[in-house]
Amino acid sequence: MRYAFNESLKDDDSGDHDQDQSSPKDSETIKIEDDEKEQNTTKKKMVVPGAGEHPLQYNYTFWYSRRTPGRPASTQSYEQNIKQIGSFASVEQFWRFYSHMIRPGDLTGHSDFHLFKEGIKPMWEDDANKMGGKWIIRLRKGLASRCWENLILAMLGEQFMVGEEICGAVVSVRFQEDIISIWNKTASDQGTTARIRDTLRRVLNLPPNTIMEYKTHTDSIKYVCLLSLLFSLHLLL
């Protein structure tokens, strides 16, 4: 994986590629996991832009997850439920994947799409995420497809202007509402989070009364732990 990063640096030739959101150790672990899952495709993981294509600042990976409703997601089950769809390095490659994927608004059940920088897993525990947080926007049904597209186009097109702070974005299709969120690395960096919020407002064309909230992942972890605990207790009793 580290090798792959170096390669991308060479290819991109942008000189601005000092991204280190994945520590060596982190890359290692991912690699191990990836190897475990799909050993034969590991070599192809680090995608490069095709000739004449428009390179993205970072490579990204699409993920898809579907949860069985009724049970709170323990970390374990979450990791098992989530699937990688594919990675891309250019605008053209992004559209190749995106165009073949169902729009979030048309997804059925309890499903999520995740789009994260290559090398960052869409989990709180990932090194890039563990100090981070996310902006959450709850949408009434019918808005998710458009908002999701606007959000990821802004993210891929580097419209947020917060350096390397962005980790990825998630759209969660739920029963009565849909939720979109964008994750960043440093929850305590208020300048960054404010900037992300303002950009979101601009690019999403949200209805004016839409509520936006920021959640740190540590809070989320605590909350879920509490829930799990309660759930276990409930089972025990």
83 is an interface residue for another protein by CB under 8 A? yes
DSSP 43: G
Residues 96 to 155 in contact with another protein, rule: CB under 8 A: 96-97, 99-103, 105-108, 111, 142, 145-146, 150, 153-154
What are the C-alpha distances in Å from 236 to residues 68, 71, 73, 172, 231?
21, 15, 18, 30, 9
174 is an interface residue for another protein by CB under 8 A? no
81 is an interface residue for another protein by CB under 8 A? no
- The H-or-E segment that residue 90 falls in is strand 82-90
Binding segment for another protein (CB under 8 A), chosen from 2-10, 29-37, 69-77, 79-87, is: 79-87
Cα separation, 129 vs 133, in Å, equals 7
**34 burial via Cβ count (<10 Å: 0-12, 13-18, 19+):** middle
Alpha helix (H) residue ranges in the chain:
2-12, 24-37, 75-81, 91-99, 144-156, 190-204, 217-236
206 is an interface residue for another protein by CB under 8 A? no
Q: Residue 53 CB, nearest distance to another protein (Å)? A: 6
Closest listed residue to residue 197, CA positions, set 134, 132, 113: 134
| # binding residues, another protein (CB under 8 A) | 44
86 is an interface residue for another protein by CB under 8 A? yes
7 is an interface residue for another protein by CB under 8 A? no
53 is an interface residue for another protein by CB under 8 A? yes
Q: Residue 151 CB, nearest distance to another protein (Å)? A: 11
Contact with another protein (CB under 8 A) among 1, 128, 156, 169: 156
Tokens found for residue 57 = 């600042």
Residues in the chain: 237
The residue among 77 and 205 lying less far from another protein, judged by its C-beta, is 205
85 is an interface residue for another protein by CB under 8 A? yes
- The H-or-E segment that residue 170 falls in is strand 166-173
Cα separation, 229 vs 207, in Å, equals 37
Contact with another protein (CB under 8 A) among 2, 37, 54, 141: 54
Residue ranges binding another protein (CB under 8 A): 14-16, 41, 44, 50, 53-57, 64, 83, 85-86, 91-97, 99-103, 105-108, 111, 142, 145-146, 150, 153-154, 156-159, 203, 205
